[in-house]
Amino acid sequence: MSDLLARHRAVMPNWLSIYYDEPIEIVRGKGNRVVDAEGHTYLDFFAGILTNMIGYDVPEVREAVERQIATGVVHTSTVYLLRGQIELAEKIARLSGIENAKVFFTNSGTEANETALLLATYARRSDQVLAMRQSYHGRSFGALSVTSNRSWKNNSLSPLNVHFLHGADRHLPQFRGLSDAEYIEVCVEDLRHVLATAVSNDVAALIAEPIQGVGGFTMAPDGLFKAYKEVLDEEGILFISDEVQTGWGRTGSAFFGIQNHGMTPDMMTFAKGLGNGFAVGGVVARGDLMDGPHAIGLATFGGNPISMAAANATLDYVLDHDLQSRAAVTGKILIDGLREAKGRLPIVGDVRGKGLMFAVELVDPATGAPAPALAGRFMEETKKLGLLAGKGGLYGNALRMAPPLTLTEDEAREGLGIILSALETINEEAGK
């Protein structure tokens, strides 16, 4: 493995993040477990960054892909009719709840967000965009401009004029102790103040993640985005919900994350889990917004027949097996178990999440300050115990976990046991 790591470092960029002191190569997967090149088995609680949404080696997905490959047609492009693309778009348009919805497919969440920003700025004839503090929307030039996390921004240059809003930063001193209702009221008044002071007329859109992924699964209280949209609607400002991580029932309480706020956005972007590992992203938007641009457009690989076969099979599997309800049940086992243990673990500053999208924030037990080193220690300990997790957050101290939606109750309890064992070990070490 050291030879493979050396080869990686020789030809891959230094900024390409890779987990663990001794990185692993995953060579096999079945169900919700993977095996590395050394033969070690892991319960996967990060799912390829929320992308292997229904686990590994799923017969329905594998067989759908094999049927398409057997036709000999692995690519045609959008200049021809693509049956699988049309069928998937029909399903997503129906599920979105967006009026007269149309769908455009891309290769990734980054590209999907770029498309949504293009549609919004074109429709509103404005480069002014609102976004959320601590957000992350992708690694491209435009997507980075609406990203509010210094660790992920390479420069201050931007094709957009962006202003960032409060909504997922209740750890700040000015917001501590506020109830949900009080916090929503303060944030709404701040939005009104931004519109009165920081922008010109005709703001294009607000883009927001219902639960912030790279931000460490921080989230606005339910109802905030509905309150924001009521203000935005007064001026015709569009709302883009970035569902790249929160879509397809992962929160357990809603099929799309934004629905937890009791509202329907003008556009939603999606990617990651829809293809269960195959590259697919896209935008679902009001038909008038999608049809608006006057220039010719296409997607060479968007709507690819192989990706569409995988995505149709994945979405059908999620719906046929009611995985949203399963996420609610298994997520409750995990989140309740972690919250119950929090009181006896001084290194745990916060436990948060919805369904199978949850995070544990680690802090210095003496000062309460963010402790990214402890998060790194957790990653190594859970790897040793046979569980894969993720980390992130604004301060690098959030452990974020999002197992496949097919996680069983027994696997949830097994994973909880490993997480608690790791936390107890680290808590003991930190107290010495």
**If you average pLDDT over residues 222-231, what whole number do you get?**
98
pLDDT at res. 129:
98
Q: What is the pTM of this model?
A: 0.97
Share of the chain above pLDDT 90, in %: 97
> Phi/psi of residue 320, each to 5°?
-65, -30
**pLDDT over 80 at 396, yes or no:** yes
Could you report the per-residue pLDDT of 30-78, keeping only the tens digit for each? 999 999 999 999 999 999 999 999 999 999 999 999 999 999 999 999 9
In sequence order, what are the beta bridge partners of 353? 358
In sequence order, what are the beta bridge partners of 401? 358
Angle at which helices 323-342 and 409-430 pack, to 10 degrees? 30
**pLDDT over 70 at 432, yes or no:** no
> In angstroms, rounded to a whole number, what is the distance separating the alpha carbons of residues 58 and 175?
45
* Distances 301 to 76, 272, 277 between C-alpha atoms, Å: 8, 16, 15
Q: How confident is the model at residue 431 (pLDDT cuts 50, 70, 90)?
A: confident
Q: Which residues contact 260 (CB under 8 A, 6 or more apart)?
A: 210, 222, 251, 253, 254, 354
Q: What is the CATH number of domain 64-320?
A: 3.40.640.10
Which of the 8 DSSP states describes residue 98? Answer: -
Domain ranges of the chain: 64-320
Q: Which two tokens stand for residue 175?
A: 């917001």
What is the CB neighbour count within 10 angstroms for residue 172?
Answer: 9
Classify the phi-psi angles of 223: left when phi > 0, otherwise alpha if psi is within -120 to 50, otherwise beta.
left
Q: Which two tokens stand for residue 245?
A: 């991580």
**Are 266 and 106 contacting, i.e. CB atoms less than 8 angstroms apart?**
no
Could you report the per-residue pLDDT of 146-179, keeping only the tens digit for each? 999 999 988 888 999 999 999 999 999 999 999 9
In the block, tokens 């891309």 appear at 106
**pLDDT over 70 at 218, yes or no:** yes
Could you report the per-residue pLDDT of 288-302, keeping only the tens digit for each? 999 999 999 999 999
The mean pLDDT of the chain is 97
Could you report the per-residue pLDDT of 5-38, keeping only the tens digit for each? 999 999 999 999 899 999 999 999 999 999 999 9
> In angstroms, rounded to a whole number, what is the distance separating the alpha carbons of residues 244 and 109?
6
Could you report the per-residue pLDDT of 344-365, keeping only the tens digit for each? 999 999 999 999 999 999 999 9
49: amino acid identity, one letter: I
> In angstroms, rounded to a whole number, what is the distance separating the alpha carbons of residues 400 and 267?
26
Nearest 10 degrees: CA dihedral of 164, 166, 167, 173? Answer: 150
